[in-house]
Each structure stands twice: as structure tokens, then as C-alpha cells.
Structure 1
Amino acid sequence: MMREISEYYHKQPEPIRSCLLGMRDIILKHDSEIVEAWKYRMPMFMYKGKMFCYLWIRRNEPVPYLGIVNGKLVNDPDLIQEKRARMKILLIDPGRDIPVRKIRRILTAAMGI
């Protein structure tokens, strides 16, 4: 499992790779009960044994994002629903500083649902 996760991150071009690794670090440090897993061929983060959030890259433009599994239940103006029924995403500009406080705010809200 860890090999696939490492390969996923390391095959990404810069600055996307650094952005994803930075977000990974923020998520894992947010709460000791958040653990990384490899599901659906992507880095998934579990909270209390349930799928919680994931990191991915938008298909139509190379922009990394944080996906919140039950995002439809999180009311945050920075999350985007798009055509997803259950998930919402937070787009991250890889050329700018990672919005750490914003990510922590969203993770905290998602943990409460």
C-alpha cells in the first residue's frame, strides 16, 4: 500500500507534487485518528475507520484538490459541489502557499458530521 501511495505522489510534476505532499502532511497532523490508505487508486484518509477525505488532481486542468467524502454535509463557502452527489472539493493553486487555516477549518467541520 505505501509503495502505491509513494508512487502516486512522486510521479506528479512540480509544483503539484510539493503541493500534494504538503496537504498530506497537514491532513495527517490534523488529528491522530486520521490515517492514510490507498483506495480507488488514490490517497484516501480515514477517520475513525471511515473514508474521510482524499487528494486528487482535476482532469481538465492540472490543479490538485482536497476532496471531502461527505462534503455535501459541510457548509463552507470554499468547498465546490460541482456534479458530485456526495463529495465537495477544495481546489488548491499549486503556485501559491497552501491555505493551511482554510484546510484545517474544513477538516474540523468535516470531522463533526
Structure 2
Amino acid sequence: MNPIQEYFYRIDEPERSTLLFLRKKILESDTENITETLSFGLPFFKFKKKMLCYLYYSKKHKKHYISFYHGDRLDHPLLISEGRKKFKILLIDESEDLPVDLILNLITEVKQYIK
């Protein structure tokens, strides 16, 4: 297993399946320009080799989240900044339907800010 796969397989179910599904959707949304790397021990998604978003776990909220670069330019009521300057996060609740369309729309919006 590569390090990115190891990251996901250390996560318990049902969170693992939710994050793997989200990972697949993000990578499939733009197969030519979105790549995945492991940075700081976390799965990062890059658009044309520039930071796009990453997945992590919030100890405060006890939930996984997706963090969007250029989040300071995004305006959506579900996004939380919590003092971050360039990022906003979207908490992922595996007991609810994953807002895939919202996430892909936010990724499309972030891509517009990447030069």
C-alpha cells in the first residue's frame, strides 16, 4: 500500500468509506488537472500542482472535514473559518448524505482563484 492508501485505511468505518468516496469524486471531477499527494501526513488535492483542498480530522468537532484553499474567498453558510486566514472547512457527517454537489461546486470555485 502507498502512504495515501495507508492514511485512509487507518480510519475506522463508516468514516473510511465516506472519505474514500469523497476522494474518488474529487479525483474524477477533473482527471487531467487534479492530483493527490501526501503532505504533512494528510491527503492533499492539487490543481495544476497548486494547493486545492485537503482532508483532515477535527478534534474539536470530532468529525472529518475537507479544507479549501482560498476559503477566505468562498461564501457559504456551511463553511467554517475558525480563525484560519486562507482556508475554510466543511465538516463531514457520515451519518448524513454527503453534499457531493456542494463540494464539487466549491472545488470549481476555488479552481478559479488558482493562477
TM-score by length of 1: 0.92
1:29 aligned residue = 28
**Equivalences for 1:39-54 in 2 at 5 Å?**
39-54=39-54
1:18 aligned residue = 17
Which is bigger in relative contact order (C-alpha 8 A, separation at least 6)? 1
Tell me how far 1:31 sits from its aligned partner: 1.0
**Does the 8 Å CA contact 1:54/1:68 hold for their aligned counterparts?**
yes
Tell me how far 1:85 sits from its aligned partner: 1.2
Tell me how far 1:51 sits from its aligned partner: 1.0
Structure 2 unaligned residues grouped into runs of 5+: none
**Equivalences for 1:1-113 in 2 at 5 Å?**
3-32=2-31, 33-113=33-113
Q: Tell me, in whole angstroms, the C-alpha distance in 1 between the residues paired with 2:60 and 2:34.
A: 29
Per the alignment, in what secondary structure is the counterpart of residue 5 of structure 1? helix
Q: Tell me, in whole angstroms, the C-alpha distance in 1 between the residues paired with 2:62 and 2:112.
A: 31
Q: Which moved more, 1:75-84 or 1:86-95?
A: 75-84
Per the alignment, in what secondary structure is the counterpart of residue 44 of structure 1? strand
Tell me how far 1:73 sits from its aligned partner: 1.7
Q: Over aligned residue pairs, what C-alpha RMSD do you find?
A: 1.3
Letter in 2 for 1:30: S
**Number of residue equivalences:** 112
| Identical residues among aligned pairs (%) | 38
**Does the 8 Å CA contact 1:53/1:68 hold for their aligned counterparts?**
yes
Tell me how far 1:79 sits from its aligned partner: 1.4
Per the alignment, in what secondary structure is the counterpart of residue 85 of structure 1? coil
Tell me how far 1:110 sits from its aligned partner: 0.8
Q: Tell me, in whole angstroms, the C-alpha distance in 2 between the residues paired with 1:48 and 1:82.
A: 28
Runs of 4+ in structure 1 over 6 Å off: none
Letter in 2 for 1:81: S
Letter in 1 for 2:70: N
